[in-house]
Amino acid sequence: MLKLYTAPTPNGKKPLILLEELSLDYSIHRVDLGKGEQFLPDYVALNPNSKIPTLVDGETEITVFESGAILLYLAEKTGQYLPETPQAKYQVIEWLMFQMASVGPMFGQLGHFLNGASEPVPYAMRRYEQEVQRLCRVLDGQFQTKEFIAGAYSIADMAIFPWVAAYDYLDLPLEDYPHLLRWFETLQKRGAVQQALALLS
């Protein structure tokens, strides 16, 4: 049995989407970040970085933390949503790393300075807003010629989607990026995506 420790954040939703797409048997353990449960010794033993999500695979006795690593682990375990041919495989991994290194951190910082900072920091708000807009232009350009981020639907799409889904929180006008919007609406209609989001609502 797979056990996912997670919370209703973009990173916490990413592996849930894949688990639902794969129709795997799994259980959810919600980690209450507001209460600091991620810092409890039992959880730190699973994830020394005290972040979510973390996956425990009872079948293989493998524990994986970091959302991107979890996506890669499940995709390789099942042979789905990650191509086998090297060129196609590494195109997916490129865009997965793009999400991990750029989309997640920049969207997250913008969200913090817009909604979580104790006082306005205009420079930071402007810096992260401009970078998020640049990243959206990168995504929009990719979706101009591709239905999904690396051609076929993959774990890279599942990684990017929850961050784009936070567009309201980020005051991000998706209509300014029509190809990105088309992709977003396509994923939004997938049953597995809807089920995954409902599980953490």
Phi, psi of 190 (to 5 degrees): -70, 135
Please name the residues in contact with 45: beta carbons below 8 A apart, sequence gap of 6 or more: none
**CATH 1.20.1050.10 correct for 86-190:** yes
For the stretch 75-124, pLDDT in tens is 999 999 999 999 999 999 999 999 999 999 999 999 999 999 999 999 99
Q: Which fold has domain 2-81+195-199?
A: Glutaredoxin (3.40.30)
> For the chain, which ranges sit under pLDDT 70?
none
Q: What is the pLDDT of residue 122?
A: 96
pLDDT at 201: 81
Residue 124 confidence (pLDDT):
97
Hey, do 2-81+195-199 and 86-190 end up sharing a CATH topology, with the first three levels equal?
A: no
Residue 101 has a pLDDT of 98
Cα 141 to chain centroid distance, Å, stands at: 20
> How many angstroms separate the CA atoms of 8 and 63, rounded?
20
* Residue 61, helix vs strand vs coil: coil
* Listed residue (155, 167, 98) closest to 129, CA to CA: 167
Q: Whose CA is closest to 16, among 163, 159, 138? A: 159
Q: What residue segments make up the domains of the chain, in order of their start? A: 2-81+195-199, 86-190
